[in-house]
Amino acid sequence: MTKQIVFAIALLLTFAVFGYTIARIIKFFSLTKKGFPVKDLGKRFMIMTEVAFGQTKIFRRPVLGFLHAVVFWGFCVIIFGSIEMVIDGLFGIEKSLSFLGWFYDFLMATGDIFAFLIAIAIVVFLFRRVFLHVKRFEGIEMKKISHIDANVALTIILVLMLSLLGMNAAYVGHTMAIGGELHGAYPVSNYLAAIFSGMSAESVLVQYEIYWWTHILLIFVFANMLPYSKHFHVFMSVPNVFLSRLEPLGKLTNMDNVTREVKLMMDPNAAFAAPATDAPIERFGVKDAEDATWKNYFDSLACTECGRCTSVCPANTTGKKLSPRKIMMDLRARMKEKGPQLLKNKDFSDNKSLVRDYVTEEELWACTTCNACAKECPININHPTLIVDMRRYLVMEEGSAPGEIKAMFNNIENNGAPWQYSPEDRLLWTKDLEINVK
């Protein structure tokens, strides 16, 4: 009974803290713009199945992709064991899902195998991060805390897998020691159970309880760490893939407020309509975090900081400052900085903004909108949409753009084309050409 009470308190605290954190994040979404309708649910489900659960983009790097896929698939299976532990802890029973029969055996067996494989994969990941200094893990946006965050999260996952294997092995060892009925199949832990040979049944049971509590409490702690970590993608990646942009990557969306003004200009009857004086003034593009769409902010929360986007960015590769990963991290950081004050006062201003204080003009204009970053991202984050909207703000509200682009704008305004020649002079270059007409 004491175990149940302690467990119930721990579970309640976990849900309370997690609920507070998620409620806070949801409030931040209320500050953002709508601008991203969710349609074609069937197509989205197929994309989610292929990209998120099939891990197809990860497999572009076969070896590391397989290891990452193993971790993802393993967690999908192991979560059933975690659910069982919650039921057991609340009701003071053991193996509450064993009534599932052969399917339970399958779940426990695959979970046991995956725990072993995940442990190996995590060791490989930690080795790469600590000793190999992979280039795409570096960058001006990757502060020391980012590396510490990744290493701590990986270490916790490793301990989770080791405690799970220890728990399973102790369960097998204790059941064998008392001659009881074994529920579930444990291909790896059957071998590990040899560690407990020679120990009394009571001692093995103590070991089981230690591993059990270590595993479940670490899950509770980890769940509440994730929203403050880059590993928040554990929760966000699958929904983010479901919410993928369905249009072709190269398509630039029109601005609704501009489209509306153009339609009014093209409608003769609009000239006689009374102007709407009470309509709020809309911002052109994105200046600060609250100007971004809710999907842009969702992308920033889902970002794994893996650096695959930056590693394929042609601007970054040629030495320019642009890093698509940094753009997402900056939006997330800016909302974290300004969001709490905006919730208290919608007119709050700290005289800072996402543009310039976080993302420089040089970074924004370095983007070629080639969409290599969006193509490579394993969870379908679309970086160019945010970059283009920040450039739209610079041009349409501040008139700020590189000289070459300003010259092009002037030519379009004056000559109806990007070139500096008037329409009447465009064919002068053909004056002295000898053209044979047959």
In the chain, where the domains are located: 2-30+61-232, 256-272+280-421
Q: In terms of C-beta density within 10 A (0-12 exposed, 13-18 middle, 19 or more buried), how is residue 59 classed?
A: middle
Q: In this predicted model, what pLDDT tens digit does every residue of 254-268 receive, in sequence order? A: 888 788 777 777 777
With b for 16 or more beta-carbon neighbours within 10 A and e for fewer, the 116-128 pattern comes to bbbbebbeebbee
Specify the 3-state DSSP secondary structure of 293. strand
C-alpha to C-alpha distance for 364 and 347, rounded to whole angstroms: 27
Instruction: Please provide the average confidence, as pLDDT, over all residues in the chain.
Output: 90
Is there a contact between 316 and 322 (Cβ–Cβ < 8 Å)? yes
Q: What does the pLDDT read at residue 438?
A: 62
**Two domains, one topology: 2-30+61-232 and 256-272+280-421:** no
pTM: 0.88
For a pLDDT cut of 90, what percent of the chain falls above it? 66
The candidate with the shortest Cα–Cα distance to 306, out of 105, 150, 196, 90, is 150
User: Please, what are the averages of pLDDT over each run of 10 residues along the chain (438 residues)?
Assistant: 89 95 94 87 94 91 91 94 93 90 94 96 94 88 90 94 96 90 92 89 93 96 91 91 92 82 75 57 88 94 93 94 95 95 92 95 95 94 95 92 87 84 79 73
* Token pair listed for 212: 């059990």
**What residues does 122 pair with on adjacent strands?**
none
256-272+280-421 classified as CATH 1.10.1060: yes
CB count within 10 Å of CB 359 equals 23
Question: Burial of 39 by CB count in 10 Å (0-12 exposed, 13-18 middle, 19+ buried)?
Answer: exposed
Rg (CA), the chain: 28
Chain centre distance of CA 368: 23
For domain 2-30+61-232, give the CATH number. Answer: 1.20.950
